[in-house]
Amino acid sequence: MGKRRRAREAAIQYHFWRDLQHGEGPENIADFWEFCPGTPRVREFAQPLIEGMVAHLPEMDERIRRYCENYEFHRISAVDRNVLRLAIYEMLYRDDIPPVVSINEAIELAKTFGGADSGRFVNGILDRVKDDLKRPLREAVQKTAPDAAK
């Protein structure tokens, strides 16, 4: 398993922990890493995911609510909710990750950690989020160096 998959798992575990603690994360991120050990490379990819999800939590939850017609937000399993949060964060705020990669990773994580219908549920919600995007779905946005534009 690659470092990015392990980092995504760690981000989901961190936010699952927060859900169990009613929105409170560990006082110190080192406490989390002690509970959920990760290599420096995994932590390097996971840390911005964790912090970004915390920073944009209200917006991500609003999107989940918007697309969960006829389904109450609090009834979504904690695993599915946090897989959705991670994927939505990546799709909206991580231009270096193609949206289809975020969707595929989320489906696999939901199948691994969620219930029997989690993969389909997550796919359905993320497919609707994908339709709102204004960037290429299959490629990362290339950052150009300031000198390259001259």
To the question of pTM greater than 0.85 for the whole model, the response is: yes
The residues, any chain, with a CB within 8 Å of residue 119's CB and separated by 6 or more, are 107, 108, 110, 111
Q: What is the DSSP letter of 139?
A: S
Q: What is the mean pLDDT of each run of 10 residues along the chain (150 residues)?
A: 91 90 76 88 95 94 89 90 97 95 96 94 95 83 53
Q: What pLDDT does residue 1 have? A: 63
Q: What is the DSSP letter of 70?
A: T
How many whole angstroms separate alpha carbon 125 and alpha carbon 43?
28
Q: What pLDDT does residue 69 have? A: 78
Q: What pLDDT does residue 148 have? A: 46
How many whole angstroms separate alpha carbon 141 and alpha carbon 88?
16
Pick the CATH number of 3-133 from 1.10.3720.10, 1.10.940.10, 3.40.50.280, 3.90.1150.10: 1.10.940.10
Q: What pLDDT does residue 150 have? A: 42
What residue ranges do the domains of the chain occupy? 3-133
Q: What pLDDT does residue 142 have? A: 66
